[in-house]
Structure formats: C-alpha cells, structure tokens
Amino acid sequence: MKTVNLKEKLARVATHWDPHVIADYNGNDVMVVKFKGEFPFHKHDTTDDFFLVLEGEMVMDIEGEPSRPVRAGEMFIVPRGVVHRPRAVEEVEVLLIEPKGEPNTGDSNREPAAKPRI
Amino acid sequence: MKTVNLKEKLARVATHWDPHVIADYNGNDVMVVKFKGEFPFHKHDTTDDFFLVLEGEMVMDIEGEPSRPVRAGEMFIVPRGVVHRPRAVEEVEVLLIEPKGEPNTGDSNREPAAKPRI
C-alpha cells in the first residue's frame, strides 16, 4: 500500500508492447506500457480493455469503424468482443488495465507478454 | 466507444467530492472528481479503491499508518477493508475507479454521491 509514481515506473520499461504490472485493483493488473509501431488486430471475449495515454499519441484502430486518435490525457476503453489494434508512429506511454491472467494479445497469434511486476 | 478527454470532462465538474462517471470498465465506474478539504474516514469492505491524481496534490490518510502524499502522475490504490481518508489543501483533480453501485462514502455516515454520467 503505497503511492506509485507512473513516470518512475515507466523509466524502468525499456521495451515496446511489454506491459509491466505496477499495482493491483480487484483482480486486475494495473500496468504501464510503451508502444511504438503496430500491434496485431485482436479481441478479448470476456473483458473490456482500458487504455489511458500518459505521454505521446496513439491510434486505436477498430474493425469496421474509423480509427480513433488517443492523446496524452485521453482514455479509450475497448468493449469486450470488439476487434481492435493499438498503434503509434512515435513512442507512446500508456496506463493499461486488464484482468489478471488475460493475455494482452487477446485471440491473436502473437505470443502474450509476461507482464513482470516492477 | 470513443476517446474520452479527461480535462474536457473535468471542466464540467463544478463541485467537490462529487464523482462523475465518464466510462465503464467491466462493471466499474471510471470517474473524474475534484477534491478540496477533508472527506470522512471510511472503508470499502468488498472493493479496492483506485485513485490517480491528474492535477494538484492530495493526501491519503490511512488509519494507524503515516499519511501518504499523492501528486499529479501518481496513483494510490486503497485495499478493501482499509480505513482511509482522502484530503486536499488545494483543489485536486482525480481519476477514480469503483465498482458500479459502490457508495463513494463506504461505511461512513456521509450521504453517498449520485455519480452522474457526463
């Protein structure tokens, strides 16, 4: 039980698409992650997917819909079952919340991240 | 399903200790709230309580422990059952997550907030 500084935690993240757990909330992992480039399209059948951009700008591509820019200070929650792809031209820093045990890659073929705790 | 700008939402919040719902995540209300002054000490027996300071500085008082400052860019998650009191000398802006139906006042005698959606 302590105050968690997001920038301090992000300074310890050196890789892209590699969420690191910084806190727990009711069976969810609260994570920080850096993105750059494109993730695969995927969906999570049993959970919403929480993104809050802390620094930089990302784009959320949604199957069959216009893409949405998501900038620092903006949040995007992907409802369960919706096929989506986060991407970023330049590195972006994101707060991510997913239930413990949920692969960050959803139903895609990409290897799920290990989600280490920092 | 859309990008939510936290500052735009906070501009619509005129009162203190009055969380406003801005999104849904797996049965939780994602809210913005402005604090100033002292809230009552309280606990939530069945849920953790998620605070992320967006602007300004608050203090989290914890029964029987040292108080914790929580500044912009910092998060504090109060585990279920822990008696706590958020307070702020100057107005602070906070992102708050609680399960739907959970009174923001926990087990205190204070009237729970209505949690309007904006």
ipTM score: 0.96
- What tokens were used for B36? 């100033």
Nearest CA of chain B to the CA of A12: how many Å? 16
Q: Which domain holds residue A59?
A: 6-99
Rg, chain B, Cα only: 13
pTM value > 0.80: yes
CB of A97 less than 8 A from some CB of B: yes
For B100-112, the pLDDT digits (tens) are 999 999 999 999 9
Residue B115 lies in a domain: no
Residue A24 lies in a domain: yes
Nearest CA of chain A to the CA of B65: how many Å? 10
For B28-59, the pLDDT digits (tens) are 999 999 999 999 999 999 999 999 999 999 99
Residue B32 lies in a domain: yes
Residue A50 lies in a domain: yes
Residue A60 lies in a domain: yes
Residue B112 lies in a domain: no
Residue B40 lies in a domain: yes
* Phi, then psi, of B7 in degrees rounded to 5: -65, -40
> Which residue from B minimizes the CA distance to A96?
B25
Residue A77 lies in a domain: yes
Residue A48 and residue B26: Cβ atoms within 8 Å? Answer: yes
CB of B46 less than 8 A from some CB of A: no
- Chain A residues with CB under 8 Å of B52 CB are 95
CB of A52 less than 8 A from some CB of B: yes
- Rounded average pLDDT over B91-97: 98
- Chain A residues with CB under 8 Å of B2 CB are 68, 76
- Report whether A47 contacts A38 (CB < 8 A): no
- Chain B residues with CB under 8 Å of A70 CB are 3
- Rounded average pLDDT over B66-76: 97
Residue A82 and residue B6: Cβ atoms within 8 Å? Answer: no
Q: What is the mean pLDDT of chain B?
A: 97
CATH of the domain at A30: 2.60.120.10
Count of domains for chain A = 1
- What tokens were used for A89? 């031209």
Residues with Cβ < 8 Å from B95, sequence gap 6 or more?
Answer: A52, B6, B30, B31, B32, B50, B51, B52, B54
Side chain identity, residue A43:
K
Other C-beta atoms within 10 Å of B100: how many?
A: 11
- Rounded average pLDDT over A98-116: 94
Residue A30 and residue B54: Cβ atoms within 8 Å? Answer: no
CB of A67 less than 8 A from some CB of B: no
Q: Which helix (H) or strand (E) holds B10?
A: helix B6-10
- Chain A residues with CB under 8 Å of B22 CB are 75
Query: Over 90: is that where the pLDDT of A95 sits?
Result: yes
* Phi, then psi, of A115 in degrees rounded to 5: 55, 60
Query: Over 90: is that where the pLDDT of A23 sits?
Result: yes
Query: Over 90: is that where the pLDDT of A1 sits?
Result: no
CB of A95 less than 8 A from some CB of B: yes
Confidence of residue A43 (pLDDT cuts 50, 70, 90): very high
Confidence of residue B1 (pLDDT cuts 50, 70, 90): confident
